[in-house]
Homo-oligomer: A and B are copies of this chain.
Amino acid sequence: MIQHNGGGIVLQVDIKSSKPIYKQIMDQIKEGVVKGVFQPGDKLPSVRELSTMLTINPNTVSKAYQELEREGAIETRRGRGTFIVENYKPQADPDRLGQLNDLLKKVVVEAYYLGLSKKELKQMLADLYAKLGGARL
């Protein structure tokens, strides 16, 4: 578990996880935005800097940044760096909406197999909203 704390931001990567490193970075940045840890316009660590901090390859960081930009979450300015997008406009993408529905369906099925009632799952969801986005959501 390698950690990076530069200027208040905290990113950590688990090399041993089955989840790809570039996806770990993506998820943490998006979660950080929701939490408010990353503010619109904030500068992210440079590709080389973050790769050094996490002792991973620059290409891996670059891949994470490219995917995030493709999703519209961040933007890159050549020669300047990578930044959290300002005034993010969500678009009702049918594909991503379907994926979200599938993901949520999986949650419901898993909850059943863990013995969680509908009420308990709703509570879990409420707790997450409280924990993640006090003001934002």
Contacts and interface: CB of A to CB of B under 8 A. Distances in A.
Contacts of A111: 100
A53 interface: no
23 contacts: A30-B109, A31-B105, A34-B112, A71-B113, A90-B112, A90-B113, A90-B114, A90-B115, A92-B114, A92-B115, A93-B114, A96-B110, A100-B107, A100-B111, A100-B116, A104-B107, A104-B121, A105-B128, A108-B132, A108-B137, A112-B133, A118-B129, A122-B125
A92 B133 CA distance: 28
Contacts of A90: 112-115
Interface residues of A, number: 43
A48 interface: no
Contacts of A72: 113
Given A30-B109, A108-B34, A109-B27, A114 B136 contact: no
A124 interface: yes
A103 interface: yes
B113 A30 contact: yes
Contact of A34 (B88, B103, B109, B115): B109
A105 B132 contact: yes
The winner among A27, A30, A112 for most chain B CB atoms within 10 A is A112
Interface string A57-88: 00000000000000111000000000000001
